[in-house]
Amino acid sequence: MNINADYSQRVVIHHHDLPWIASPQSGVERRMLERQGVEVAKATSIVRYHPGSKFQTHIHELGEEILVLDGVFSDETGHYPAGFYLMNPLGSSHAPFSESGCTLFVKLRHLGPAQVEREVIDTQTAAWLHGMVPGLSVMPLMQQGSGSTLVRWAPQTYFNPHRHFGGEEIFVVDGVFEDEHGRYPEGSWIRSPHMSLHKPFSREGCTIFVKTGHLLAE
């Protein structure tokens, strides 16, 4: 199965427009943003756990990243409410579940050999750092190697035109993100290819998950 698997193409999706697709586990559904493979797949998805849903213990050979969008996600290591970021490294295993239900932004099999230690960040309490322009704040998520970042835009914040070596991926967590190509409300996913150019801004303010440099042709 290939869904938006050509990294040379720009893709814009509002995940609320996609259908929920049942996973092999009862009570767990997915909205597929990109996918290469069937069940063992390199993938980016929105995943919804209905209350009481759970998976058996399984291994993530090439790791996973999770951002909890709502509800409470759990595994044998603890309970993670909305705002938690988890990076489970290559070869890690867990038995995830949700007692009350939750929605997640999930990336599978996108990690490299630099990501060897599990990382957990509560973005509701972690510190924000000053960004490169006034009104921009950043929160590095993945601490090992070049990785994922949360970026907060105050209303009426404008950035300079720039290119992304290795491409850029954005998921809009809240608010409205914009550039010269369009307007992207909460739930939008934008993947821009290697050396793509844009001039981003936010008139209303927003928070976005950003990952760069990982979209070179394989």
Q: Which of 62, 55, 58, 56 is nearest to 91 (CA)?
A: 62
Find the range with the poorest average confidence among 46-50, 89-93, 119-123, 181-185. Answer: 89-93
* Average pLDDT value for residue range 181-207: 97
The position carrying tokens 């440099």 is 213
User: Looking at the predicted structure, is the pLDDT value of residue 22 above 90?
Assistant: yes
pTM: 0.95
* Better-predicted residue by pLDDT, 51 or 113: 51
Q: Nearest 5°: phi and psi at 10?
A: -75, 140
User: Looking at the predicted structure, is the pLDDT value of residue 218 above 60?
Assistant: no
- Give the start-to-end residue ranges of the domains of the chain: 18-122, 129-212
Each residue's pLDDT tens digit, 75-97 = 999 999 999 999 999 888 999 99
| Fold match flag (18-122 vs 129-212) | yes
Q: What percent of the chain has pLDDT over 70?
A: 98
State the Cα angle at 120 between 37 and 209, rounded to 5°. 60
Q: What percent of the chain has pLDDT over 90?
A: 81
Quick one: pLDDT band at residue 217, thresholds 50, 70, 90? low
* Average pLDDT value for residue range 123-128: 97
CB 31, CB 213: distance < 8 Å: no
Residue 168 burial class via C-beta count within 10 angstroms: exposed 0-12, middle 13-18, buried 19 and up: buried
Model pLDDT, residue 146? 64
Check if CATH label 2.60.120.10 holds for domain 18-122: yes
CA distance 118 to 8: 31
- CATH code reported for the domain at 129-212: 2.60.120.10
* Better-predicted residue by pLDDT, 165 or 146: 165
Q: Which residues contact 167 (CB under 8 A, 6 or more apart)?
A: 7, 191, 192, 193, 194, 196, 212, 213, 214, 215, 216
